Structure 1
Amino acid sequence: MSKRCTLISTAAAFVTGACGSTQAQSLYDTLAHNGACFARIYDQAHLGSHPDQTVTHFYLGDPGPDWVETQAPAHYNLAFRFKVLDDADTYSGVAICEPQGALASCVIEGDGGSFTIERNGAGLRIRLQRMQVEGMQEFSPDLALRDNRVMLLEPALSSVCRAE
């Protein structure tokens, strides 16, 4: 396999042998492995063209080693965190996800809401029904009440999802 194919299959983690097979991995295989990370940092141009959007950063991926024993294709956990405009706090949580055909349906621990995940090319499309979680100072606003209901995330280095 060429170096480019290795990078594609490692970074995107969507297709087994990205340059030699068309068998798509399940969302579980894509998301529930050590170091899985998808992210989006919205720039000022995007935020300016979406004035009702409040999310500035969104990260989704591996919940860490404490969750390894709970991971299974029918029921797995994902960590997420986000930042919103005009707020220094970082909000985070863990979601419990189950496959539903091509989607994963996720419920946020602590009655924080729910969302779905689906593929979007090499990335993911997150659709929020409700997302309201605790930060270090207070609870976040419900992201689904503003123009944050759909977020497109791209594959990222695992360090991006772990950084604060």
Structure 2
Amino acid sequence: MKELSQIRMAVLDALRGAGIQAMEVFPEKQAMAYSGVVAAVGVGAASGKTAGFCHYLGEMKDPETQAVRERYGKELFGQITVELRANRAADCERGCETATEVLLGGLPEGVRTGELTWEAICWEKTTGMFLRRGVLECRALFLTESAVESGEFLDFRLKGVMSE
């Protein structure tokens, strides 16, 4: 599902912007190749619902061409999972503090955060590293517009994330 990938990429970009090495969920052995704290990000359970009447949110006028486009939206509810690993417990704790700031205040406007919970730091025998797992409940809003020329719909994009 493209929308789940967009949520994951938004979180990865935000964590990287805050100086945390971050990647998609990976095999545990790969964590040992990094120094400092490394975050593995995934999107857990997700469910969706329509936003507006059958996804319809109304019309908007293109500021450049003045052409009218129809706007549609959908909403997903999900869990963002973050696993922080580090060789030292103190690095893991500092990474958790930074990640908390990012997850609760540094994500695009289309990701509405809910409850964030962190497990206690533990020693992970398989990697020989300290581990702290977190889960963020969230709601994500995706928007799309009809293409002016053809009337076809463009892909749904996470609100607040620039398109290329």
- TM-score normalised per structure 2: 0.30
Q: Which has the higher contact order (CA 8 A, sep 6+)?
A: 2
Give the structure with the higher percent strand.
2
- TM-score normalised per structure 1: 0.30
